[in-house]
Structure 1
Amino acid sequence: MPFERTVPKVGAALAALLACTVPASVHPHVFAEARLDVVLGADHQTVKALRHLWRFDDLFSSTVLMEFDANADLRLDDDELQEVANTIHASLADFNYFQLVTVDGKDVKMKPPAAIMANFENNQLIILFESEPETPIQLAGDIRLGVYDPTFYTAIDFTEDANMAVDGLPSICTRTVVRPDPDTALAENQQTLTEAFFNDPAGTDMSKIFATKLEIKCHA
């Protein structure tokens, strides 16, 4: 698995989260609530950066605590949190940090985040990072932003529309949170879904059709 090649010392918990080979009866095993803040450029004409926050469920968070609590004091100190952050940073590189970024249906290349921050609050693991497109995204056409795990192992959800935010959007633009219905998404993409997807969707990169997306449409 790519993750094992990248980080040979990783704990079992994060290996499962970030690079698990999932059986055909795939469904999420790890859950996280997310927030996405879209940062516009100074002129409010481009998308400059995406700020991500993921808050993981109690069960997975406790597993991470057990795996990375090297001194067994039932807490994650700064050095241990840094190890968690470094592990996730290295691991998610092969998965574009679970980001979905398109303009008019075409993928936008994103720079790897300079760093990932990890925190442990109220018994939950919290991950924060900021990424930038290789070239600032012009506010034109149909921009879609979201988060998805191509292995289907992790469900990262935006529980409220307000958790996908963009401040200072020009008046020529509209912001819509799109929550696809799974049955409708399957029907609409039937032509492009392969037999491999239905036998084992893990790693086919098609889980993005089910992802909640922030849609920004701008017209002159």
Structure 2
Amino acid sequence: MILRARSTFLASVATALLLSTVPAQVHPHVFAEARLDIVLNADGKTVKSLRHLWRFDDLFSSTVLMEFDKNSDLKLDDAELQEVSQTVFDSIGEFNYFQIVTEGGKDVAMKPPAQLMANYDKDQLIILFESEPKDPLKLTDKVTFGVYDPTFYTAIEFLEDDNMKVDSLPAACSQAVVRPDPDEAIAQNQSSLTDAFFNDPAGTDMSKIFATRLEVTCKAEG
């Protein structure tokens, strides 16, 4: 998550877990197992929404419990979960909710999710939300979907390829999960990486080159 201001989620729940001021030591402190389902419209050709599910590690989840369990009953009731939801919503909004979508290599604008839901199950915090493209997004040529934290604080992990997919993929399309090797990603993007990236990777938007992504390629009609 993001440690930046009082409004940020981790600043609220884990102030003791401050990021190092030495850029070389920037690394994930929070881990989440994720699922991403791409839902198509009835036409089977355009993207309706992205459905996200993140299940956080036990350590971070317990930190959230301690911070938001106002009545100290060792669980999060509906009101407490709503506060968690709103805090997360406010925290990651400026980072496009940790999602990136591209069409033909160009970024696709996404609408903010209407709401974000939090749950606490088996000692783990679960976050769910759904977002939609701002403009119609057709599956043509190559479209990619990825999830990443540009601050490097949170590792969003897709443990199985099947946890990142397009539901009811058209026959003319193929999908593949890509898990970049960090060294190869840097080598392949060397020309576009600036000194700012190497001095402070969390201060740029280039961390997306390390993100696990789903690549969808479709053949032209006709």
TM-score bucket of the superposed structures, by smaller chain: over 0.9
Q: 1:185 to 1:37 in 2, by over 3 A?
A: same
Task: Give the aligned residue type for 2:47.
Answer: V
SS of the residue aligned with 1:38? Answer: strand
Mapped partners of 2:212, 2:141: distance in 1: 19
C-alpha RMSD of the superposition: 2.2
Mapped partners of 1:205, 1:158: distance in 2: 21
- Partners of 1:3 and 1:15 within 8 A in 2: no
Q: What is aligned with 2:149?
A: 149
Mapped pair 1:4 → 2:8: no
Q: 1:15 to 1:117 in 2, by over 3 A?
A: farther
Task: Give the aligned residue type for 2:117.
Answer: M
Mapped partners of 1:23, 1:130: distance in 2: 35
Residue deviations 1:32-67, cap 9 Å, x none? 000000000101010110000000000000000001
Mapped partners of 1:5, 1:76: distance in 2: 22
Q: 1:64 to 1:5 in 2, by over 3 A?
A: closer
Q: What is aligned with 1:85?
A: 85
Q: What is aligned with 1:67?
A: 67
Residue deviations 1:153-206, cap 9 Å, x none? 100010000000212111111100011111110100001111111111113011
Runs of 4+ in 1 over 2 A off after TM superposition: 1-8, 12-17, 20-23
Q: What is aligned with 1:204?
A: 204
- Partners of 1:32 and 1:54 within 8 A in 2: yes
TM-score by length of 2: 0.92
Mapped partners of 1:67, 1:82: distance in 2: 13
In structure 2, stretches of 5+ residues that fail to align are none
Percent identity between the two aligned chains: 65
SS of the residue aligned with 2:97? Answer: helix
Mapped partners of 2:6, 2:151: distance in 1: 17
In structure 1, stretches of 5+ residues that fail to align are none
